[in-house]
Amino acid sequence: MSVIATFQKDPTDVLDYIVDWTSWLGGADTIATSAFTVATGLTMDSESNTTTTATVWISSGIASQSYTVENTITTAGGRTASRSFQIVCLNL
């Protein structure tokens, strides 16, 4: 699993995070399904996807804590891949 980025958020923020799979898909495949796994302590408010991106809306968290969020996709061509990112909660 590859960590693709680290983001900061205030515990009171409700923010969207987008995983762009365009380069990995190479123009010849599309996202069929997408699922996010959010570390305990964060709240996943909603998730969605297009044929090339996956989006998750996240709220809550505890200041000074770091959390991992994982996105796993399956493509129309039958490939499966996962990428993760870190969210660091700070009192901003």
Distance linking the first and last C-alpha atoms of the chain: 29
pLDDT beyond 70 at 81: yes
Question: What is the arithmetic mean of pLDDT over 23-31?
Answer: 95
**How confident is residue 80, by pLDDT bands cut at 50, 70 and 90?**
very high
State what percent of residues in the chain have pLDDT above 90: 92
pLDDT for 92: 81
Q: Check the CA dihedral 15-71-86-3 and report its sign.
A: negative
Query: What pairs with residue 60 in β-bridges?
Result: 42
